[in-house]
């Protein structure tokens, strides 16, 4: 069966680039590069790396052609609208713990798309279960060196994994993980721990399975099950504090075993587990370079180090491979937080380059500051704010009514909940909003900062940005 293919549409041209000099324009639909049809931005990159690139494209309904002459390996300078030009490989699992099934109705259509595409894992860090992975995919990954990949493991027992994924291929597909590791593909694993399902003895067995069969994994992240008010799975529930503590204890126990046998800690618990269990975070050095920052592991320590000046550059979202692929759009978690150039009254010029931590707030003397954050963020920020000794700085904690359940992370704050929290806050104060809850200038519920009852100043979500913002607010 043929796969539906759409032509990549050019959305931006870098000034003075080879693409600009060739006459390529935004809106052009590229149908061939050097006579070949690229399936995705990965193939686009390989084809466009040539010194001479013949481009067939459609403009205004007419098929046209241009030839780009440049240095081999030099970027083309044309950004396209999407990373995949054929059909996204959607997920055919039916996991009871999938958060997409727990989304409220009426959100953007794209938020309901479940992908299980290894290419998006490589490009953007998405997790794949490998249940739709094939021999052809394996050959391509190995041949083109598509590494690293992120794989959802959940359980190493094939029967339990199949049951959790509600897919008979769930257990069998772990053979691809073995093949990837045998061919030196870097793989990061993830286990969503569901109380009463894959915790306790099952989680212990998964640690044994990783040590025995998948010891070449780069890292494994243990993250807690997220439950929204829209959850309809009676077997799914939030962790109790005692269950969270047991997960932390298990992780610390197995870290010592992995240190002894494979030379590094291998498995890490998400920061949420320490907050739920009420136990201190490990020292920063414990996180082995904060390689799992995007999985919510070590974020509290990196924020503290940034805020205290121990880190000069924010950790932030890792750029990933897509940043080095000419033409790849920034999507999903890596999409720009605010529209380009939107500084407005309510923003401070948030940027997709969070590493810059640029703050452009207008100093206002004697204006108290409210730092807007979620319950988990408040637990992390409270001791940092207290160390400042600033009576003019307070936390504005936003309870998540939109998703409900155990949703308490800052990245899932929405406009409606933030508006409710700000309604009773004093006018004339400064309100700092972390940009992690925005994508292209919008909250998940579709609202923008202009819909809030108080002006907010959007800052990058890192400790350096917060420290600078508070310094400007003195």
For the chain, the three-class secondary structure string (H helix, E strand, C coil) is: CCCCECCCEEEEECCCCHHHHHCCCCCCEEEEECCECCCEHHHHHHHHCCCEEEEEEEECCEEEEEEEECCCCCCCCEEECCCECECCCECCCCCCCCHHHHCCCCCCHHHHCCECCHHHHHHHCCEECCCCCCHHHHHHHHHHCCCCEEEECCCCCHHHHHHHHCCCHHHHCHHHHHHHHHCCCCEEEEEEECCCCCCHHHHHHHHHHHHHHCCCCCEEEEEECCCCCCCCCCCCCCCCHHHHHHHHHHHHHHHHHHHHHHCCCCEEECHHHHHHHCCCCCCHHHHCCCCCHHHCCCHHHHHHHHHHCCCCCCCCCCCCHHHHCCCCCCCHHHCCCCCCCCCCCCCCCCCCCHHHCCCCCCCCCCCCEEEEECHHHHHHHHHHHHHHCCCCEEEEECCCCCCCCCCCCHHHCCHHHHHHHHHCCCCCCEEEEEHHHCECCECCCCCCHHHCCCCCEEECCCHHHHHHHHHHCC
- Residue 325 domain-assigned (yes or no): no
- Whether residue 350 is predicted with pLDDT greater than 80 in this model: the reply is no
pLDDT top residue among 151 and 328: 151
pLDDT at 357: 38
Local confidence band at 109 (pLDDT 50, 70, 90 cut-offs): confident
Are residues 237 and 269 located together in one domain of the fold?
Answer: yes
* 382 and 271 together in one domain: no
CATH number at residue 219: 3.80.30.10
The confidence score (pLDDT) of residue 335 equals 64
Q: Would you say 107 and 230 are in contact if contact means Cβ atoms under 8 Å apart?
A: no
222 neighbors 255 (Cβ within 8 angstroms):
no
Q: What pLDDT is attached to residue 322?
A: 43
**φ/ψ (deg, to 5) at 97:** -95, 0
| Closest residue by Cα to residue 202 from 216, 219, 222 | 222
93 found inside a domain: no
Burial label for 416, CB within 10 Å (0-12, 13-18, 19+), is middle
Cα(215)–Cα(88) distance, rounded to whole angstroms?
A: 31
Q: Is residue 324 part of a domain?
A: no
Q: Is 50 inside a domain boundary?
A: yes
Does pLDDT of 375 surpass 70?
yes
Mean pLDDT of 341-346: 34
In this structure, is residue 310 part of a structural domain?
A: no
Same domain membership, residue 279 and residue 212 = yes
User: Do residues 233 and 378 share a domain?
Assistant: no
- For residues 282 and 157, membership in a common domain is answered with yes
- Looking at the structure, tell me whether residues 348 and 443 fall in a common domain: yes
Same-domain check for residues 268 and 151: yes
Whether this prediction's pTM lies above 0.95 is answered by no
How many structural domains are present in the chain?
Answer: 3
- Among candidate residues 80, 107, 126, the one where a domain is terminated: 80
Q: What is the pLDDT of residue 325?
A: 56
Task: From residue 215, give the alpha-carbon distance in Å to each of 44, 67, 100, 207.
Answer: 34, 48, 31, 10
Residue 113 has pLDDT above 90, yes or no: no
* Residue 231, domain member (yes or no): yes
Reported as a pLDDT band with limits 50, 70 and 90, residue 236 is: very high
* Each residue's pLDDT tens digit, 193-233: 999 999 999 999 999 999 999 999 999 999 999 999 999 99
CATH number at residue 53: 2.30.42.10
**What is the dihedral sign for C-alpha 218, 219, 220, 223?**
negative
The closest of 269, 175, 162, 268 to 214, measured between CA atoms, is 175
Residues 53 and 201 in one domain: no
Average pLDDT (295-318) is 87
Q: Quick one: 373 and 463 in the same domain?
A: yes
Query: Which residue segment(s) compose the domain that 31 sits in?
Result: 10-80
In a domain, 225, yes or no: yes
Q: Work out the percent of the chain whose per-residue pLDDT is above 90.
A: 77
- In degrees, to the nearest 5, what angle opens at C-alpha 352 toward C-alphas 441 and 408? 60
Residue 355 has pLDDT above 70, yes or no: no
Provide Rg for the chain, Cα atoms. Answer: 23
pLDDT of residue 294: 83
Same structural domain for residues 275 and 236? yes
Q: 283 and 389: one domain?
A: no
* Judgement on whether residues 423 and 464 belong to the same structural domain of the protein: yes
For residue 119, tell me if it sits in a domain.
yes
């Amino acid at each position: 069966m043929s796969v539906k293919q759409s032509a990549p549409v050019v959305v931006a041209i870098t000034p003075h680039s080879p693409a600009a000099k060739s006459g390529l324009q935004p809106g052009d639909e590229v149908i061939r590069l050097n006579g070949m049809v690229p399936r995705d931005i990965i193939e686009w990159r390989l084809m466009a790396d040539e010194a001479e690139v013949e481009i067939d494209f459609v403009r205004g309904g007419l098929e046209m052609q241009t030839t780009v002459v440049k240095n081999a390996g030099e970027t083309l300078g044309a950004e396209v609208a999407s990373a995949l030009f054929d059909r996204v490989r959607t997920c055919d699992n039916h996991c009871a713990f999938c958060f997409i099934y727990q989304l409220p109705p009426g959100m953007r259509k794209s938020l309901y798309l479940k992908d299980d595409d290894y290419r998006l894992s490589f490009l953007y860090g998405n997790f794949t279960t490998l249940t739709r992975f094939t021999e052809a995919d394996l050959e391509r990954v190995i041949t083109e060196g598509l590494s690293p990949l992120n794989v959802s493991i959940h359980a190493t027992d094939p029967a339990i994994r199949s049951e959790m994924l509600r897919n008979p291929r769930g257990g069998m597909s772990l053979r691809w993980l073995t093949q990837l590791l045998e061919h030196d593909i870097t793989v990061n694993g993830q286990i969503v721990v569901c109380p009463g399902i894959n915790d306790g003895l099952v989680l212990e067995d998964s640690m044994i399975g990783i040590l025995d069969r998948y010891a070449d994994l780069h890292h494994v992240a243990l993250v807690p099950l997220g439950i929204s008010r829209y959850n309809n799975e009676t077997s799914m529930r939030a962790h109790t504090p005692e269950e969270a503590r047991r997960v932390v204890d298990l992780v610390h126990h197995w870290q010592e075993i992995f240190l002894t046998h494979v030379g590094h800690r291998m498995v890490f618990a998400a920061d949420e587990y320490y907050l739920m269990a009420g136990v201190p975070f490990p020292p920063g050095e414990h996180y082995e370079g904060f390689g799992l920052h995007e999985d919510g592991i070590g974020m509290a320590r990196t924020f503290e180090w940034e805020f205290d000046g121990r880190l000069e550059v924010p950790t932030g979202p890792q750029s990933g491979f897509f940043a080095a692929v000419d033409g790849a759009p920034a999507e999903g978690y890596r999409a720009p937080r605010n529209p380009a150039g939107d500084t407005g009254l309510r923003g401070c010029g948030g940027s997709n380059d969070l590493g810059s931590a640029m703050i452009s707030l207008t100093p206002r003397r004697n204006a108290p500051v409210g730092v807007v954050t979620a319950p988990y963020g408040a637990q992390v920020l409270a001791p940092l704010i207290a160390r400042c000794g600033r009576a003019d700085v307070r936390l504005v904690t936003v309870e998540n009514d939109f998703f409900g359940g155990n949703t308490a992370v800052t990245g899932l704050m929405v406009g409606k909940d933030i508006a409710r929290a700000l309604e009773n806050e004093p006018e004339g104060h400064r309100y700092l909003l972390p940009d992690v809850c925005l994508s292209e200038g919008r909250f998940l519920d579709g609202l923008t900062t202009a819909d809030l009852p108080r002006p907010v100043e959007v800052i990058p979500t890192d400790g350096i940005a917060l420290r600078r913002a508070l310094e400007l607010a003195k």
